[in-house]
Structure 1
Amino acid sequence: MSGEGAKSCFPPVARPDARVLVLGSLPGDASLQAGQYYAHPRNQFWPLMQAITGRPLAELAYAERLEALQQAGVALWDVIASARRRGSLDADIRDQQANDLRELAQSLPRLRAVAFNGATAARAAGQLDGLALDILALPSSSPAHTLAFDRKLEVWRQLGRYL
């Protein structure tokens, strides 16, 4: 999936009892190759969520990680359905097609907050205007975002009040 070909997101991971929806931009090449959300070994998503949920996500197989996340009330998806991009940097995204975030949010009756993982994802927040949801802009969990883990976690801990 590397190169500048068309890249597509994964299906949403969401149960009706989700209270928080975490939205990334578009999976990077490591994630696309693995067929898993946040598969790059230096992406801090899973350690961040482990710290917030108190569940041993890093020790679990991928399917079990997703199940544990959903049991904690967290849903995952991406704001971009498909795009062209060389490599994994959000700055290189071209010709993007958006996912229907509003439709997914409205299908989750217990949803209380939507958290955007990084600035590129956060630009899609307008899709959710008028919905009674808290909107959170989080620093990216990507290794390209060089903010220290502890500083990221400080902001990401906001998710805990919805779980």
Structure 2
Amino acid sequence: MKHPFAPVFDKHSRLLVLGSFPSPRSRENGFYYGHPQNRFWPVLAAVFGERLPATNEEKRSFVLKHGIALWDVLESCLITGAADSSIREERANDFTPLIEAGIRRIYVTGKAAHLLYNKHCLALTGIEALYLPSTSSANRAHWPLEKLIEAYSVLR
């Protein structure tokens, strides 16, 4: 499966937040962290003290306003549903355009994204990725909303 949408960034983006690969629901919705139970957008809204963006355009504007770029580690892979553990035959995205645009710090959301970034991208970018916990609803028991907000406050 090939990644279905482009990265979100502009000349003011300094932080890059990477997931592993879009979930089926995100692919269906056409934007990052598109599953309604994923807590990414509520966490960012709380971190920056703003209202929750609702539409894809509002989400795009939100991250760009705060100097954040969004993308995923993988350009393509074989994946079953949304299970990162099923990823194989992975191929990483080329981050050169984002680095050249001014990205200075990279964050990865979840263990799979962290492992995939270190395996495929670290040597190419030369930028150590900082780990952030997954905002997936499957991670609720280990990372309640308040703890996620605290962890993601490094983006502020």
Among residues 150, 153, 156, which one is paired with 1:157 in the alignment? 153
How far does residue 9 in structure 1 lie from its aligned partner after superposition? 4.5
**Which of 112, 116, 128 is the equivalent residue of 1:120?**
112
CA distance in 2, matches of 1:57, 1:108: 27
8 A Cα contact 1:15 1:108, kept in partner: yes
CA deviation map 1:16-49 (0-9, x unaligned): 1102110000000111111121111110110111
**Share of identical aligned residues, percent?**
34
Unaligned runs of 5+ in 1: 1-5
Can you list the C-alpha shifts for 1:96-145, whole angstroms capped at 9, x where unaligned?
Answer: 111123x1342222x33111011111121462458675632000111122
Contact 1:57 1:68 in 2 (8 A): no
Q: TM-score, normalised by structure 1?
A: 0.83
SS in 1 for 2:146: helix
Contact 1:7/1:85, CA 8 A, preserved across alignment: no
How many matched pairs? 152
Q: How does 1:132-143 map to 2 (within 5 A)?
A: 135-143=129-137
Work out the CA distance in 2 between the residues paired with 1:140 and 1:8.
19
Once residues 144 and 83 of structure 1 are traced to their aligned partners in structure 2, the CA distance between those partners, rounded to angstroms, is: 22
2:8 aligned to 6, 13, 35, which one? 13
Measured against aligned partners, the alpha-carbon deviations of 1:28-76 in whole angstroms (never above 9, x if no partner) come to 0111111121111110110111112223233x32212211210111100
Alignment gaps of 5+ in structure 2: none
Inter-CA distance 143–18: structure 2 relative to 1 (3 Å threshold): same
- Segments of 4+ moved more than 6 angstroms: none
- Give the structure 2 partner of residue 25 of structure 1: 20
**What is the Cα-based RMSD across aligned positions, in Å?**
2.0
TM-score (norm 2): 0.87
SS of the residue corresponding to residue 152 of structure 2 reads helix
What is aligned with 2:89? 95
